Amino acid sequence: MQVFKMKPEEQNPKERIHNFKEVCLGYTKEQAIEEAKRCLQCPVPLCEKGCPAGISIKEFIKHIVDEEFDLALKIVLEKNSLPGVCGRVCPAEEQCKKICISKPAININLLERFVADNSEKIIKSVKKTGKKIAVVGSGPAGLACSSELALMGYEVVIFEALHKPGGVLTYGIPEFRLPNKIVMDEINYIKKLGVNIKLNSVIGKLFSIDELLKKYDSVFIATGAGLPYFLGIAGENLNNVYSANEFLTRNNLMKAYKFPEYITPVKKAKKTVVIGGGNVAVDSARVAKRLGSDVTIVYRRSRNEMPARNEEIKHAKEEGIEFVFLANPLRIIGKDDVEAVECIRMKLGEPDDSGRKRPLPLKGSEFKISCDQAIVAIGQGPNPMIGKTIDLNIGKKGNIIVDNNYQTSINNVFAGGDITSGSATVIKAISDGKKTAKIINEKIKRG
């Protein structure tokens, strides 16, 4: 029996810590076909129930087996306009792969990535409805909603606050996990569907929601969770203490890692402490590593509770990033610049609201980690900008409140993605965007 090569090639850790190129190189054609052949083509494909975008997984995999890659991509695009993105950043192990009955599970995400990277996206022409929709924010939720609406014949304009589209895909997720070229290629596909993206347009400042409602039949707010949380401990405003958002934005959106070729600066640290346990924390740690710093991630719970994807944690470990579990920062020490982070050891108690075991401090166990850079990656909240400028129903955490149909407290104004839920996943945002598109369509058709 042929030995199955399930693992795609990866850049060697020793080399990749010196560049920002993609770590996982993806499947070759042979590997993709081989992997696709393992799919049992279940009569009732459970995997599809696990896909928030509802991709016809069984069917697209069959096309890979038959080497009909363009057809495979066509099937994927029917449900997801961002396959190259999702194939890379979806937590497939928690979704489609989790309920795949093959052992080990089929690498559905890598197959999705393969077809996205290796086939031509065909543009369908659609009959125009003559109705116009405004979408606020060009992150995953906004893009998914826009492409879905464009395919239904709506004229869609996305208003993006930054100078580049993509939201968190552009400013947040680093190139070694999600190359900017992939994001821009998929956005170009969405533009070709007829979606117009207006950059540098801050809604609430340049145009109000009321103004949009005068020109458009509906508005979809998808401004994401871009508000960085801070710890509220002493020393947090010392120099070289960054929010993960700032650190990632400088490097991803502004390309500070190419300073001084690119003008935005970032400090070259020797020792970085990253505080947090999610994907954003691990991304920040790996960027710092690539900028030449030794890196320690401090997380208050244990390895098991870390919200970051296993693959990212594994990659980080291979890259020499250290983890200090069950430790919580008490204060950041330094005169002008950060010099150390003082932490306290924690133990796990009873589960809290999030269902994870609550970390409790162990008295007298304080210790210091020396560093010349600290990155706070303890989460992001919904962007408050729009809520401040219009009378919308806003939740305690700053999230826009919507009903089951993504309808906000203002008629014809919908919202979805992280702005309604707080920081979640790319695919959840895509799913929200798609569902809202359907709801907007139904509502407009009802008249």
Partner 1 sequence: MYKIKEKKFLAEKTYLIKLFAPDIAKKAKPGNFVMLRIDEKGERIPLTIADHDFETITIIFLVVGKTTEDLSKLNKGDNLLDVVGPLGNPIKIKNYGKVVFVAGGLGIAAIYPQLKALKRENRIISIIGARKKELLFLLDEIKQFSDKLIVCTDDGSYGKKGFVTDALKEIVDKEKIDMVITIGPPVMMMAVSELTRGKVKTIASINSIMVDGIGMCGSCRVRVNNKIKFACVDGPEFDAHEVDWDELLKRNSKYKEEECKCLK
Site of interaction with partner 1 (CB under 8 A):
161-163, 171, 199-202, 205-207, 226-228, 230, 232, 236-240, 242-243, 245-246, 249-250, 253-255, 259-265, 267, 336, 383-385, 388
- Complex with partner 1: residue 83 or 172, whichever CB lies closer: 172
Q: How far is the CB of 22 from partner 1 (least distance, A)?
A: 22
CA distance linking residue 177 with residue 21, whole number of Å: 8
**CA proximity to 15, closest of 220, 283, 289:** 289
Q: Which is nearer to partner 1, 265 or 320 (CB)?
A: 265
**Three-class DSSP category at 325:** coil
What amino acid is encoded at 338 in this protein?
A: V
Measured CA to CA in angstroms, residue 93 lies from 37, 106, 208, 320, 339 at distances of: 19, 10, 41, 24, 39
CB-side neighbour CA atoms (13 Å) of 332:
29
Radius of gyration of the chain (CA): 22
Residue 172: φ, ψ to 5°: -100, -60
Spatial distance between the Cα atoms of 276 and 296, rounded to a whole number of angstroms:
11
Tell me whether residue 90 or residue 227 sits nearer to partner 1 (CB atom). 227
Is the CB of 149 or the CB of 400 nearer to partner 1?
400
Nearest to 272 by CA among 286, 253, 254: 286
Q: Which residues of 48-77 are buried (b: 16+ CB within 10 A; e: fewer)?
A: bebbbbebbbbbbbbbbbeebbebbbbbbb
Helix (H, G, I), strand (E, B) or coil at 404: coil
CA–CA separation, 80 vs 57, rounded Å?
11
Q: How far is CA 260 from CA 162, 180, 198, 257, 346, in A?
A: 22, 20, 29, 8, 41
CB of 25 to partner 1, least distance (A): 27
H helices then E strands: how many in the chain? 17, 16
Dmax (CA) for the chain in angstroms is: 69
Q: Which of 40/234 has CB closer to partner 1?
A: 234
β-strand partners of 197: 158
Q: Which residue has 């543009």 as its token pair?
A: 123
Strand partners, 407: 414
Identify which of residues 218 and 249 has a Cβ nearer to partner 1 in the complex.
249
Question: At closest approach, how far in Å is the CB of 347 from partner 1?
Answer: 30
296's tokens: 């320690």
Provide the minimum distance between the beta carbon of 197 and partner 1 in the complex, in angstroms, as a whole number.
14
Contact 345, 326 (CB under 8 A): yes
User: Considering the complex, what minimum distance in angstroms separates the CB of residue 163 from partner 1?
Assistant: 4
Minimum distance of partner 1 from residue 196's CB (angstroms): 15
b (16+ CB within 10 A) / e for 373-396:
bbbbbbbbbbbbbbbeebebebee
CB of 165 to partner 1, least distance (A): 13
Least distance in angstroms from the C-beta of 308 to partner 1: 21
- Residue 25 or 263 with smaller CB distance to partner 1: 263
Give Cα 260 distance to the centre of its chain. 28
**C-beta closer to partner 1: residue 89 or 254:** 254
Quote the least distance from Cβ 248 to partner 1, whole Å.
9
Residue whose CB is less far from partner 1, 35 or 160: 160
Name which of 45 and 167 has its Cβ closer to partner 1.
167
Least CB distance to partner 1 at residue 298 (A) = 19
Considering beta carbons, is residue 61 or 162 the nearer one to partner 1?
162
Alpha-carbon span 357 to 165, nearest angstrom: 38
Q: How far is the CB of 226 from partner 1 (least distance, A)?
A: 4
